[in-house]
Every structure is written in C-alpha cells, then in structure tokens.
Structure 1
Amino acid sequence: FNDRVIADIIDLFMGVPQQQEYVEYANAHWKELIDRYQPSVLWNDIGYPAAANLAELFSYYYNAVPEGVINDRFTQAATGDGPPDPAAIMQALAQGMLPTPPHFDFRTPEYAVFPDIKIEKWESCRGLGYSFGYNRNETVDDMLSPVELVRSFVDIVSKNGNLLINVGPMGNGTIPPEQAERLEALGSWLSVNGEAIYGSRPWTRAEGTTDSSVGVRFTRQGSDLYAILLDTPPQPAVTLHDLSIPAGASVILLGHGAITAEQHDNGLTVTLPSPLFDAPAYAIKIAGGAGS
C-alpha cells in the first residue's frame, strides 16, 4: 500500500497508508480477530489511517466484548494538507507517549514510567534490553538486571500501572537464558510477595523512604497496606518516615511472619529478622493500615 522508507519518527506517521482500500483492509483484520477470538485487549501499535471511522470499529469491538479495553495507539495523524506536527510528536515521545488518539482505555508509555500515581490505568511496555524481539547483539549488560526488573515492577504497580515485558525467542523458538533468568527472578520474588501486588491498588501516595534512605513503595488490598522496601536494609530496625498506623495493627513481613512495630512522631519503626539475606525488595503488610 505504501513504499515510503521509514527513516525517522515523522516518517512512521507519514507512512501510514491512507487509501480507502487500506482502511477496509485494516478494519477487516480487526473484525476477523474480534469475531474469532473475542480478545480482552485491542493493542494497536502507533498509527491508523486518518480516514478510518474508529468510533464504528470500537463500537463493533465493545458490542462483541463489553469488558474489553483499547490501548492508546490508534493514532490518526492527518496527511496531505495536514501533515503530522513534528514538534507535537517529539514532545509526546519525550514523555514516553504517542500523540493522543480519539479514544483509549489505558496509556502505554514505552521504556518510561510516570513519577506519581495516575488515576487512569496505564501500562509501561519495554523489552528486557533495548529491543523488542530477540537481538543477538544484546548482552546482559544491555538488559535490566533481575534486581532492577523487580524494583521497576514494584514502582510501576504502586502508581496504578502494569508492566508489559517483551521476551524475544531465538530462531529455534527457545527463550534466551539471559531473559529466562530475569523472568524466573521476578517469578521467585512474586511467589513470596505476590500478595502485595496481585489485585492491589494504589494507596494515597506511592513513595516513601526509610531512615537509611531505602526507597519505599506502597500498595493496598482493601484496608491492608503494603510497604515494599526497594533494597535490603543495613540494620534490622527500620523506620518508615511519615507513616502512621492504627493502634494494635498487626505487622507482617511477607515470607517470614509477624514482626514488631513501634509508632513514633516521625514514622513507624519495624524490626526485621536478622540476619536478612539480600533481596531485590521486601514487602511489609500492615493489616488495617490503609484506612477505609
């Protein structure tokens, strides 16, 4: 449909075919997928013809999958007399965003995260390295370490986000060992601390710190609060700054059990077991600590 060479981000939008034949072709693909598979998510990537009636396509989807969701990449950039605005595109990309489409249910910042809690749902998407798909030139030095992966994931969840990680199989269909190692590390951490993640929601704030400058991220499950330490504290006694909990609330270190806690004017001091082996993050559950 279009032989334009894609050399930069502006070409990417200008290269979207705009012929009516392509509109019908693209819509037919989506409708076939919807009819056959009733997908939970419509995940388009980057562009869509400006002449397409997305309201009609989205209505078709929602009528078939009422609980379905649509991502924010059905971007319709005008061409011809109204070319994409390079400045607007570059500004959006600098924020990890693409130009705003006419409708979406969740945001998809790429290789980027938000600095605070977002009311609307969002999902950070990235590869473990710099590439989507397998790239034999990438080494472990180009990838998130297992520790960085866990901590990034916790940070994203605390701010109402999901993490979409790309894993690229090699030509023989197997997952590269370096990628498998990172996924297994995340799975091992979740096997102990998943209660603080699965089904959780943001608390009133996402971030905190301790007296030893260890970062803290908060999540909640109903009235229960989870304070997740993004490092192994240097001492068993840890004060979480500016944190108050109800009198008599039970405090538990996930994977261990009950721990002692003492409220002070400047925060909550908990005493962790000693010695404490190094881990990417530790999750502390405070029953009733999230409030109503």
Structure 2
Amino acid sequence: MEYSAGKISQPGHRRIASRAASSFNSNFQNLGRALVAGLLIFLSAGLVAVKAEANSAPANRLDWFREARFGLFIHWGVYSQIGREEWARELLQIPWAEYQKYARSFNPVNYNPREWVRLAREAGVRYIVITSKHHDGFCLYDSAFTENDSLGARIKRDLIGELVQACREQGLPIGFYYSIMDWYHPDYLPRRGWEKDRPAGGADFRRYVSYMKSQLQELVLKYQPAILWFDGEWEHKNEDYDAVGIGQMLRQLKPDIIINDRLFNRAPGLGDFGTPENYVPATGWRNEDGSLRLWEVCMTMNFNGWGYNHFETEFRNGPQLIRQLIEIASKGGNFLLNIGPRPDGTIQPEFVERLKQIGAWLKVNGEAIYGSEPSVFEKLPFFGRCTVRGNRLYVHIMGWPQDKRIVLPGLKNKVQRAFLLASGQKLEYSRKGNDLVIRLPEEPLDRVATVAVIEVEGRPQAEPYRIRAGTDGRLELPVSLAEIKSQMGQRAYLDYFYRTTMLTNWQNVNDFPEWEFELSRGGKFEVLASYAWQWGGKSGFVVEVDDRAVLRGESEPSPSIYFPASHSLGRVELTAGKHVLRFKITSIANNNALKLEKVVLRPVAGSQ
C-alpha cells in the first residue's frame, strides 16, 4: 500500500451506492463525506425522527440490560483462519500485505446465523455482542467506507446483517463490539513497533477519527444495535478521538442505545456500564463514592485468547461457569461469556457442550438469575451465594454441608415459607438469635448449585456480617468467607471437595483470598493454614496482615490433592480491633499452587 497525506492508493476504496463502483479510488476523507451524504438522504425520514428524540432518552432504557444477566460474546474474524486468537497479527508480527491475503480469502461457508442464535437461546442467553470490527480493522459487515470487509472477502456476505436478522427473528437483542484501535487503516496511529512496511509519514489521526465516526453512524443507522461495546482505546486519551462527541452522536442517532465505559477510557462514572475483563470483582463494580454501578464481566470460556485458537487445551468447565454466573448475579453484574467460532463459521464442541450445560441449569433455575438483584448478605458462612427478587431470597448452595444445615446470618425479615426451587419441596427452618437456620434434605438436587427459596415479609434485609473469634479466642477464616481478589486473568475459584470447600486452580499470583475480621482481644496468635498439596516441588506463599508481610513459607504435602492437612506457619502479634489478612502465592510449582481450605488464628496461651 502506498499513500501520501490524505490520499490512499489501494484496490477499491469503495462503492457508495453500488458494488459496481468497486474500482473507485479516493481518499478516506472525501469518500466519507460522500457516503455520509448518501446515507443521510437515504435515511432522512428516520434520522429526523431520531434527532427529535435525542434529548429525551428513555428513563428505563437500561432496565432490560440490568435484568438480562447473561449475554454471549462472539469474537470472530479473519484471524480465525490463523488459529492463534484475535491478536494473531500482532503476536506473530504478520506484515500488512500478508495479513490482507487472509482478509480476502475469508470464506466461512458453514456460517449459519440462525443456528448460532438457536444455540444462544438454548444456553439461556438474553443478548448477543459480536465483533463488528476488531483491532485488525476487518469488518464483518457490508461497510461503504472500506474494502476491508466481508463483502470484499471471498464469502461476499454481510455476516453481521444476517446475524441481526436471525436475532430479530428469535427475539434476541444484539450489540456490536467496535475497536477504536485499527491496524489496517493508514491514518490510525501509532503503528506497531515491529512494522517496517508501513511508515507513518503522512498519516493523520484526525482523518481516522472521521472514518470511525462515519462507520459508527453506519452501524447504528443500518442495523439499530442495542449495545455498542467499545475496546482498544488505551493508546489514546478521550479527547484524541472525541469520545464525548461520539457518545453524543450515538445518543442522537439512537436515544436508547447502551454504551460501555471503554469509549471513555474506562473512566469512573462514564459510559452506561463497567467492563471488568476475565475476573470477577470481589465486591462488584463501584463508583468513586462506593455505590454499586451497572457492570458486566466479559470472560473467555477458554484460557488463551478471545478469537478461535486451534491449539487451545484449557477450558473452564460447565459447573465453574454456572457458579461464576451465579456469583456475578449475586453481586449485581451481568456475565458476557465469550466464544470464538472457527473459520468455517461453526462453533467447536467444547463451547457448545458448556453452553448447553448452562442452559440446562437455567431452564430449571433461571428465576433465580434473570431480573435478580444483589445479595443482602455481606457474607454467607457456607459455600454459596444469594440473589434477590422481590420478597424472595434465592440461596444457591454449591457445597452440601455435612450437617445438612445452612445459616443465613442476621436476616431481619419474618419468614413466610422456604422450599427448593427445582422441586417445590418444603424446607424446615428455625431462628437462632438473629440468624435463620435452614434444614436441608440428605442430598442436593444439583451438585453444581441447588437453589433454596426463602420468602419473607417485605423487602429482604440483613444485618452487617462480621468475622469474629469464638469464645476461646480462636478465629477461623475459611475460603468461603474470603473475598477472592484478582485482576485480569483470574484462574483461582472455589470448589467443593466432598467434605470441604477449597480455593483451587491457583495458577496466577495475582489471585488471592482476603478476609476482614475483628478481634475483641489482642495478643499473640499461632497461624495455621489448612491446604491440600501433592504435586511435587514447592509453592511459595506469604501471609500479610494489614498490608504487612508477617509470615512466609512453602507448601508441604497433604494426604492427597483433595484432602487438606493443617500446617503451622508461625506466630503473629495483633492488637484488638479490625484487621485484614491476605494469603498470597509468591511462586508456583508444576503450574498449580496449593488448594487452600482455611487459615486459623489460634491464641497462644498466656498472651491475651
């Protein structure tokens, strides 16, 4: 490709009203102006109506999104042919001209959008978000602003348009992912550091912003998406690409459109919802004042990339995904679960199997997820979560307790009845102080998560929960009472191992449990950790109290990889009052750290 300031010379940049004009060559700026004029004439009646409503966006426009709780993310494009995920061009440093061969040869002959939507419906999904344009700049739709799209590829079909039609036929809202970053467009800056065949001389980022605005107008006017899901913003500041102006333009075009926070560089309070990626925030997504905001976890089903990875061997299992959906809903968020279809347009069996597992669970228990509100309990003293709808508490029990009882701490409301959601079986209950004790049957209905429903008088309320020592001064900190802190790339999660709950799949040093507790008396304590470890080698760990490392150690073997043993780590001296304890991994042996059951603080005789 050759270009000078404002001029592009490459095949077919692009028709305005017809494919017959494919030999037309001009610069993006002039073409964009002509196309926008054509679009506005063609859609003038609808656009005038939209502008009239621009300043009166529906007050309830976010309600459907808040109630949906579960969405399907689809990362698909020419990179699927390479089979090394969506960042393939960057990761493999593929030259521009060479990558365009994949763009022209893209031919997903087995793509069946109605089948995709049918699978999404079977999975219990309530909306879809698909990549309209990823970082490589290739568009899955018929764009009048570039030849680098699905109509310019071998398939010569409007892949997005067909999916939009299938979604509307089956009553499923659809949104579009759109990358601000663009490795194809000659005016996008900066270039990749390794690119030698694309000098930046003559590039004008302002022209790229005009191109981006034109494409966004095109997407909204042509397909009327429910969501615009931005990404790839981190190379620029908001003012560089007129983020606020773009947001205003989109609202004028479609007053009820929902826009994520990445258009605005994920700045707190901007955008309609926050987007934590590949991890679940410990206490949900918060505004600067601490209040809960609308948020959505986007997460891959596999561990290595968002787009199709032919060489992938690691996948989150069905039970783990169901429990993550429950956890996210219990904290007031949505779960946007990703798949990366294959280059022929089919979806690999690992994804299909897991989606159907989730759908089967939701078919029985969906009432506890869709339209639910966050838990009223700060903590639950067992492996489980709680969601709320109206005067109903939905208690998701993920580990069946040995004594067949669960305790709901500090529930203020009078109970009307309790029963299992799946069967309607009545449950006995009683009060113990401020707590509600529920008696369970001998066996769970579903070992992944059995849902008990507690109907109460009025809106459910609960007293704040505090972790405190027993009368003997001993303090137990089970992982089920911890907040699991993480960053992008969370691997660790809780699981139930016959008798007990442990933190497992601990492969990332950025994942760690954290407990906030209160001591009525200070003194010296022996610190014990109960964990399972039998992988060979040793994993290092550190115990921090109030942001200070107090003990370090290495893993010791237990009876089995599923059966924990208790180990003394040393002693600490703590004052009376509130403290925060963290158990962190510092090194990992054999790609897996220990399985942690609990940390115990045992008072040293005579020190209190």
Counterpart in the other structure of 1:86: none
- Which residue does the alignment assign to 1:138? 312
Q: Is this contact kept in 2: 1:117–1:202, CA < 8 A?
A: no
Matching residue within 137, 151, 154 for 2:323: 151
> Which runs of no fewer than 5 residues in structure 2 stay unpaired?
1-185, 195-202, 286-291, 462-608
User: By how many angstroms is 1:155 displaced?
Assistant: 0.7
User: Following the alignment from structure 1 to structure 2, what is the Cα–Cα distance between the partners of residues 271 and 191?
Assistant: 25
Equivalent residue of 1:125, what SS? Answer: strand
Q: How far off is 1:38 after superposition?
A: 2.1
Are 2:191 and 1:23 equivalent residues in the alignment? Answer: no
Superposed displacement of residue 245, structure 1: 5.7
Q: Secondary structure at the match of 2:273?
A: coil
Q: Deviations along 1:207-231, whole A, 9 cap, x unmatched?
A: 4123xxxx22121111211111123
Q: Could you tell me how far apart the structure 2 residues matched to 1:30 and 1:103 are?
A: 19
Contact 1:133 1:167 in 2 (8 A): yes
CA distance in 2, matches of 1:219, 1:159: 8
CA–CA distance in structure 1, aligned partners of residues 447 and 436 of structure 2: 22
Within the candidate set 249, 256, 277, 1:60 is matched to: 249
Deviations 1:180-221 (A, max 9, x none): 1111111111111111100011133354123xxxx2212111
Q: Is the counterpart of residue 4 in structure 1 residue 191 in structure 2?
A: yes
Aligned ranges 1:110-259 → 2 under 5 Å: 110-118=277-285, 119-130=292-303, 131-139=305-313, 142-205=314-377, 207-210=379-382, 215-235=383-403, 237-244=404-411, 246-257=413-424, 258-259=426-427
- What CA distance in whole angstroms lies between the structure 1 residues aligned with 2:264 and 2:460? 40
Higher Cα Rg, which structure? 2
The amino acid across from 2:297 in the alignment is S
> Structure 1 residues 40 and 278, CA, compared in 2 at 3 Å: closer, same or farther?
closer
Is the 8 Å Cα contact of residues 116 and 206 (structure 1) preserved in structure 2?
A: no
Q: Matched residues in 2 for 1:18 and 1:193: separation?
A: 53
- Cα shift readout 1:244-285 (whole Å, capped 9, x = no counterpart): 364451112110112222221263222323333552111111
> What do residues 146-190 of structure 1 show as CA deviations (whole Å, max 9, x unaligned)?
111111111111111111111111223222111111111111111
Gaps of 5+ in 1: 8-16, 77-98
What is the match of residue 41 of structure 2? none
CA distance in 1, matches of 2:248, 2:414: 51
Q: How does 1:102-117 map to 2 (within 5 A)?
A: 103-117=270-284
Show the 5 A alignment for 1:70-81. 70-75=259-264
Question: Using a 3 Å threshold, how does the CA distance of structure 1 residues 220 and 6 change in structure 2: closer, same or farther?
Answer: farther
1:117–1:205 Cα contact (<8 Å) kept: no
Q: Is the 8 A contact 2:415 2:456 kept in 1?
A: no
Distance 1:112 1:196 in 2: 22
Contact 2:244–2:264, Cα closer than 8 Å, also in 1? no
Give the counterpart of 1:265 among 433, 438, 442: 433
| Partners of 1:229 and 1:283 within 8 A in 2 | yes
Matched position secondary structure for 1:232 = coil
Amino acid at match of 1:4: R
For 1:19, give the aligned amino acid: F
Residue type matched to 1:57 in 2?
A: I
Residue 33 of structure 1: how far off its partner (Å): 0.9
Indicate conservation of the 8 Å contact 1:158/1:201, yes or no. yes
Q: Which moved more, 1:158-167 or 1:57-66?
A: 57-66
Residues 204/241 of structure 1: CA separation in 2 closer, same or farther (3 Å cut): closer
Contact 2:217 2:253 in 1 (8 A): no
Query: Offset at 1:43?
Result: 0.5
Maintained 8 Å contact 2:374/2:386 = yes
SS in 2 for 1:62: helix
> Is the 1:232–1:280 Cα contact (8 Å) retained in structure 2?
no
Number of residue-to-residue matches in the alignment? 254
Distance (Å, rounded) in 1 between the aligned partners of 2:400 and 2:316: 19
1:206/1:219 contact within 8 Å kept: no
Deviation of 1:102 (Å): 8.4
1:69 maps to which of 258, 261, 266: 258
Contact 2:261 2:271 (8 Å CA) reproduced: yes
Corresponding position: 1:46 with 2:214: no
Residue 73 of structure 1, CA deviation: 1.2
Give the letter aligned to residue 136 of structure 1: H
Bigger drift between 26-35 and 52-61 goes to 52-61
Cα 1:24–1:102 shift into 2, 3 Å: farther
* TM-score, normalised relative to structure 2: 0.39
Relative distance call for 1:41 and 1:224 in structure 2 (3 A) is same
Cα pair distance change 1:18/1:207, threshold 3 Å? farther
- Specify the code of the residue in structure 2 equivalent to 1:34: V
Identity %: 31
